[in-house]
């Protein structure tokens, strides 16, 4: 019988939640790496028992952990992230040049077919790859050395590379996103990169056609249609039908077009989920009501999903890596909040319940569908 | 034998209970102690000092014999009481955060 395993990264450790295919009763294990910030826990699709976790601390820096048994036990692997060559500078908040400095790993993306190959998106923004299960890391420096690098600048959360999407059809194609540089695509396995930000309009950039500088919060793709991308930008929900060559806005009737997460239904490539957040300075749900919005038409027309979610006095945030979908027959949708709840829907968003409460602030949520 | 006291999180990471005891070749300097510590516990590489520059991480301090040695040269010989094992070198995390 199929089952689900939810991997939760929080400000104070990692948690692993497991359930059968009904997804009604959940066992919670953790905290793993108690007291450390866990920006992301990710699972290999080639070997579901192979997990990677990014463990970091303002005191002790970066550690990468690996599990070979689905999160029961963990062992540290390599944590040496050295930029290729002289790192150079990017823009600082005040517009001055600032040297590239490694701070932490935001996102881990295991290869689709090799459990030992995994990509890491880091702050200050760069992409690294390990081909030996995380022991050694090498920068794919064609990205950082793209000519626009000196013009990248940090968002409020730091200059992070937070999204890595591997094309399931074309092994040489991958997408990444950086806050606040924008989205990039490689068609040659990471050697060279193309900014894919045409159509994005950002109020804080005077040039409406700026090549870089956009604060992309998250990108999602359905594996059956790798050329169709959905983006939650700082403001605006966007869609591209040509692998990022051109974007158009699909915010439609959302109560606010600001937010962090975006994801796509596992079986319906035109069904998209976002979670609007009030901006620019408050960063909690509008009117204190926690609402997921679902579009069944690939954007523009959105319906509020509220059943089981708090509809008063809710002032949490949902961060960019904190939504995921499973691929069970009725698609499960999951998200975690800065208030420490992980909410799940086993009916594609129609109804929700908290499958765990009172965790530390949730930074990331991933889910595995296990058979 | 030089005694080193690690902060809680690094003891957990290195899977050690109490103090660590290290044999250090040559002069007992902070650099030599950290070299020996990282050689014995590779998992600690990068957690106390940067792996490339060897700069001490900003929120860590080196204390010994009631003195803060954090801003001394890492090639300065440690107090004789540390070198002899009478007193430990303490690697201390700054009190900060929630």
pLDDT tens digits for A261-302? 999 999 999 999 999 999 878 999 999 999 999 999 999 999
Give the pLDDT confidence score for residue B97 in this predicted structure.
Answer: 58
Q: Is B68 part of any domain?
A: yes
Pairing mode of beta strands A104-110, A138-139:
unpaired
Test A59 with B7 for CB contact under 8 angstroms: yes
Interface of A with B in 43-62 (CB under 8 A): 57-62
Q: What is the CATH number of the domain that holds B71?
A: 3.10.20.30
Residue B27: is its pLDDT beyond 80?
yes
DSSP A321: B
| B59–A contact, CB cutoff 8 A | yes
Q: pTM for the complete prediction?
A: 0.96
Alpha carbon distance A292, A23 (integer Å): 19
Q: Is B98 part of any domain?
A: no
Domain residue limits at A50 = 3-370
Q: pLDDT of A73-86, one tens digit each?
A: 999 999 999 999 99
Residue B88: is its pLDDT beyond 90?
yes
- Assign A38 to helix, strand or coil: strand
Choose, out of A10, A14, A60, the residue to mutate when testing the contact with B (most B CBs < 10 Å). A60
Test B57 with A59 for CB contact under 8 angstroms: yes
Give the pLDDT confidence score for residue A146 in this predicted structure.
Answer: 85
| B18–A contact, CB cutoff 8 A | no
Q: Which residue has the higher pLDDT, B96 or A178?
A: A178
Distances in whole angstroms, Cα of residue A283 to Cα of each of A279, A341, A350, A354: 5, 17, 24, 21
Query: Chain B partners of A76 at a C-beta cutoff of 8 Å?
Result: 13, 43
Q: What average pLDDT score do residues A64-75 get?
A: 97
3-state helix, strand, coil in chain B (%, to 5): 25, 20, 55
Which residue, B91, B97, B98, B96, is CA-closest to B44? Answer: B91
Residue A24: is its pLDDT beyond 70?
yes
Is residue A260 a contact partner of residue A318, using CB atoms and an 8 Å limit? yes
Is residue A335 a contact partner of residue A365, using CB atoms and an 8 Å limit? yes
Q: Is B11 part of any domain?
A: yes
Q: What average pLDDT score do residues B13-17 get?
A: 96
Residue B96: is its pLDDT beyond 80?
no
Q: What is the ipTM of this complex?
A: 0.94
Q: What average pLDDT score do residues A234-254 get?
A: 97
Residue A156: is its pLDDT beyond 90?
no
Say which residues have a Cβ less than 8 Å from residue B39's Cβ, sequence separation at least 6.
none
Q: What is the CATH number of the domain that holds A91?
A: 2.130.10.10
For chain B, how many structural domains are there in total?
Answer: 1
Give the pLDDT confidence score for residue A221 in this predicted structure.
Answer: 98
Distances in whole angstroms, Cα of residue A123 to Cα of each of A142, B22, B55: 16, 34, 19
| B96–A contact, CB cutoff 8 A | yes
| B81–A contact, CB cutoff 8 A | no
Q: What average pLDDT score do residues B32-49 get?
A: 98
Test B51 with A59 for CB contact under 8 angstroms: no
Q: pLDDT of A193-241, one tens digit each?
A: 999 999 999 888 888 789 999 999 999 999 999 999 999 999 999 999 9
Test A60 with B13 for CB contact under 8 angstroms: yes
Choose, out of B11, B47, B58, the residue to mutate when testing the contact with A (most A CBs < 10 Å). B47
- Assign A242 to helix, strand or coil: coil
Band of pLDDT at residue A131, cut at 50, 70 and 90:
very high
Residue A351: is its pLDDT beyond 60?
yes
Domain residue limits at B38 = 2-93
Burial of residue A359, with CB atoms counted within 10 A of its CB: 0-12 exposed, 13-18 middle, 19 or more buried: buried
Q: What average pLDDT score do residues A1-11 get?
A: 95
Query: Chain B partners of A82 at a C-beta cutoff of 8 Å?
Result: 51-52
Interface of A with B in 75-134 (CB under 8 A): 76, 79-80, 82
In angstroms, the first-to-last Cα distance of chain B is: 36
For chain A, how many structural domains are there in total?
Answer: 1
């Amino acid at each position: 019988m199929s089952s689900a395993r939810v991997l939760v990264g929080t400000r104070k450790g990692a948690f692993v939640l497991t359930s059968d295919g009904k997804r009604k009763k959940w066992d919670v294990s953790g905290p793993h790496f108690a007291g450390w910030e866990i920006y992301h826990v990710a699972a290999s699709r080639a070997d579901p028992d192979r997990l990677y976790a990014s463990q970091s601390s303002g005191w002790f820096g970066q550690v990468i952990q690996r599990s070979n048994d689905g999160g029961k036990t963990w062992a540290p692997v390599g944590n040496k992230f050295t930029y290729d060559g002289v790192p150079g500078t990017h823009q600082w908040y005040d517009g001055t040049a600032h040297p590239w400095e490694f701070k932490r790993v935001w996102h881990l993306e295991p290869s689709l077919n090799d459990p030992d190959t995994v990509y890491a998106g880091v702050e200050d923004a760069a992409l690294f790859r390990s081909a030996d299960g995380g022991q050694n890391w090498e920068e794919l420096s064609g990205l950082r050395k793209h000519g626009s690098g000196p013009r990248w600048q940090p968002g409020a959360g730091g200059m992070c590379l937070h999204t890595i999407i591997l094309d399931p059809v074309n092994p040489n194609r991958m997408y990444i996103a950086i806050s606040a540089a924008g989205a990039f695509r490689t068609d040659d396995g990471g050697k060279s990169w193309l900014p894919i930000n045409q159509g994005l309009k950002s109020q804080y950039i005077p040039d409406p056609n700026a090549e870089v500088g956009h604060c992309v919060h998250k990108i999602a793709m359905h594996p059956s249609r790798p050329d169709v991308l959905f983006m939650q930008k700082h403001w605006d929900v966007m869609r591209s039908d040509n692998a990022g060559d051109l974007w158009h806005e699909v915010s439609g009737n959302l109560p606010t077009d600001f937010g962090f997460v975006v994801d796509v239904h596992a079986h319906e490539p035109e069904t998209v989920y976002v979670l609007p957040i009030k901006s620019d300075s408050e960063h909690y749900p509008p009117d204190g009501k926690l609402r997921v919005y679902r579009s069944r038409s690939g954007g523009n027309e959105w319906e509020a999903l509220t059943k089981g979610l708090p509809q008063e006095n809710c002032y949490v945030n949902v961060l960019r890596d904190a939504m995921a979908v499973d691929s069970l027959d009725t698609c499960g949708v999951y998200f975690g909040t800065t208030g420490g709840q992980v909410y799940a829907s086993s009916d594609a968003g129609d109804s929700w319940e908290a499958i765990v409460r009172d965790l530390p602030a949730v930074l990331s949520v991933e889910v595995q569908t296990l058979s | 034998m030089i005694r080193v006291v690690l902060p809680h999180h690094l003891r957990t990471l290195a899977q050690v209970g109490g103090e660590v005891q290290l044999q250090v070749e040559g002069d007992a300097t902070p650099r030599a102690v950290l070299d020996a510590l990282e050689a014995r516990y590779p998992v600690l590489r990068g957690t106390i000092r940067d792996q490339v520059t060897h700069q001490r991480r900003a929120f860590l301090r080196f204390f010994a014999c009631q003195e803060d040695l954090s801003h001394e040269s890492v090639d300065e010989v440690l107090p004789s009481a540390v070198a002899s094992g009478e007193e430990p070198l303490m690697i201390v995390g700054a009190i900060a955060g929630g």
